[in-house]
Chain A
Amino acid sequence: MTTLQDAAADRTTTQPDGGAGRRQRAYSRTRVGPLTYVAMTLISLIFVLPLLWMLLTTFKTETDARSIPIHIMPGQWTLRAYHLIFADAANPVYLWLANSLMVSVLHMLLVVAVASMAAYALSRMEFVGRKLLFGVLIATLFVPGFIFFMPNYLTMSTLGWLDSIWALVVPGAANAFGVFFLRQFFLAIPRELEESALIDGANSWTIFTRIVLPLSKPALVTLAVLSFLGAWNDFVWPVFVLFSPDKMTLAPGLATLQGAYTTDYPVVMAGATLAAIPVLILYVVVQRYVIEGVANSGLKG
């Protein structure tokens, strides 16, 4: 617990990009020689080469992608795969891309809004039922997600959300992780700022939106990115609650594409590349937030 608070405190006092405090604490016992770089480069290649292979394949002809012996570079560069997936009416990949973006953005906004409000009340206010709510929140974290598949499918059906993006946007926002994550961060913010605003006549909503949220930017960004990625990559739930070609998102869509183009690997890889590029861009931009967010989750224990 303390570790997460320390990390949160670090980030309230330093710039959002400063993992500097952490870097100083990191110990270094051994000097590293060129061998470490060789090892790290080889390991990195294991992670990069398959992705490069995926990208190169999208520019190959179907026969080229199936040629034995393997040709690494496309014999003849072509955009055929991309033309195909954007023209395929049965598998409207551009709609899946739009749906994925919509689902992920809406889910992200909902999670951040709802979790930050609840986390603020839980970290700063006294109210009857607070302990109970907190206990229930903790309990829900221990229940595996598949328990909810059947009953939530019925709820989606009742709400008319089957085969609609709302089935992907809303139910996942009930996850308590965001509330805990932000609560830890809020607890580390000094109260004096809020108290002086209060003396100036601000109400709770103003204090929350004008003081607490702006101070919590690193935590909010981390939660936003993690929930965006979660919605973008969600697989098992969308596979079952979406069925119309025009309602699909990219993750379940890739399974459909794989079924429709069994041997036409450039097309399947083009779909995968489209699903990969937005999250890769996001990851490059906010890499530190993603990794620190995940790193902190382990130190809670």
Chain B
Amino acid sequence: MSRTALRHYRPWTPYLFVAPFVLLMLTFLIWPAIRGVWMSLHNWDFMLPGKPWVGLQNYRDLFDSGSVIFQPFWNGMQNTFLFVLISVPFLVTVPLGLSLLLNRKFPGRTFFRAVIFTPFVLGVAVVGVLFGYLFDPEVGLVNGLLSGIGLPKVAWLSSQPQAWITILITTIWWTIGFNAVIFLAGLQSLAQELYEAAELDGAGRWGQFRHITLPGLRNVFVFVLTTTILASANLFGQPYLLTHGGPGDSTTTAIMAMTNEGLRGFRMGTAAAMSYVLALALALVSIANFLLMRERK
């Protein structure tokens, strides 16, 4: 950044410009991040006046199979992990395929791009109740179509693995446009000349894809992969609206377990501890992901 010879501001002007944002950041990001740690070290029941210090007990409880929070917490962690594992491959490859299709120049391309992005604009609440109706085991459109062609009805929401499949389909439908648009932008920033050169060298379409498109998309790919893992780990709205965490507690996610404990049960000390353990787990996954995806020679 080249410094201008002219200074058009008084020494305190910059501070006035950043003050409103800094105030918000201190109040709603910095201070709560510290206060959360403090809360996690107490028996912080929102409904009770006394909040006794318990040290690391909340964390110990999370890892102690004899404690009441052990089962809900690890069930939530396990379910979240399972969803990340099954959803991320689809949520990355399906949009990549779509973006390749959209990357060709044809009239109406922008229109199709806009259509595919539409569900994401709607938000999880609309998508959740809509798919709850579509996958209703008795009167839903999906089972209606299945029985129309003579197939048996499927208990989409009340048995496994159907419940996860429903959540997966809903998530793909809702978010596919988001990643597709990011991949498409990545594809369009690739230099045309590389493809022309490859064609001259006799590379086929698969060869061009493997040796130009994929390497060229590496950074975008890592970005999409990372943000998708984090988004899937934050799964909440779809099971909240579709399965209510069931059948049993088989689709109760980590975020649901945490909010049940802290914002329904008001045991906020344990819930804060849960949030830090989950955040740590996600940080480890992100680091592992980064190391794995690093440029390999």
In the bound complex, do residue A301 and residue B188 qualify as a contact, i.e. CB atoms below 8 Å apart?
A: no
Contact residues of B between 194 and 240, Cβ < 8 Å to A: 195, 199, 219-220, 222-224, 230, 233-234, 236-237, 240
In the bound complex, do residue B27 and residue A127 qualify as a contact, i.e. CB atoms below 8 Å apart?
A: no
**Cβ 8 A contact of A291, one of B46, B103, B114:** B114
Query: Scoring A residues 224 to 264 as 1 if CB is less than 8 Å from chain B, else 0, what string do you get?
Result: 00000100111110011000000000111011011000000
In the bound complex, do residue B25 and residue A68 qualify as a contact, i.e. CB atoms below 8 Å apart?
A: no
In the bound complex, do residue B182 and residue A272 qualify as a contact, i.e. CB atoms below 8 Å apart?
A: no
Query: Scoring A residues 109 to 130 as 1 if CB is less than 8 Å from chain B, else 0, what string do you get?
Result: 0000111011011100111001
**Does more than half of chain A's interface fall in helix, strand or loop, or is it mixed?**
helix
**Cβ 8 A contact of A66, one of B1, B115, B139, B282:** B139
**Cβ 8 A contact of A283, one of B44, B118, B220:** B118
Q: Which residue of A lies closest to B104 (CB)?
A: A32
In the bound complex, do residue B121 and residue A290 qualify as a contact, i.e. CB atoms below 8 Å apart?
A: yes
**Cβ 8 A contact of A57, one of B15, B133, B264:** B133
The verdict on B48 contacting chain A, using a C-beta distance below 8 Å, is no
The verdict on B279 contacting chain A, using a C-beta distance below 8 Å, is yes
Complex CA gap A290/B130 in Å reads: 23
From A44, A115, A229, residue with most partner B Cβ within 10 Å: A44
* Residues of chain A whose beta carbon lies under 8 Å from any beta carbon of chain B: 3, 22, 25-30, 32, 36-37, 39-40, 43-44, 46-48, 50-51, 53-54, 57, 65-70, 113-115, 117-118, 120-122, 125-127, 130, 133, 136-137, 140, 143-155, 157, 170-171, 173-174, 176, 179, 187, 191, 194-195, 198-199, 202-204, 207-208, 229, 232-236, 239-240, 250-252, 254-255, 257-258, 265, 268-269, 271-272, 275-276, 279-280, 283, 287-288, 290-291, 294-301
* Residues of chain B whose beta carbon lies under 8 Å from any beta carbon of chain A: 1-4, 6, 8-9, 11, 13-15, 17-18, 20-22, 24-25, 27-33, 35-36, 39, 44, 46, 98, 101, 103-106, 108, 110, 112-119, 121-126, 128-134, 136, 138-139, 141, 144-145, 147-148, 173, 177-178, 181-186, 188-190, 192, 195, 199, 219-220, 222-224, 230, 233-234, 236-237, 240-241, 255, 258-259, 262-264, 268, 271-272, 275-276, 278-279, 282
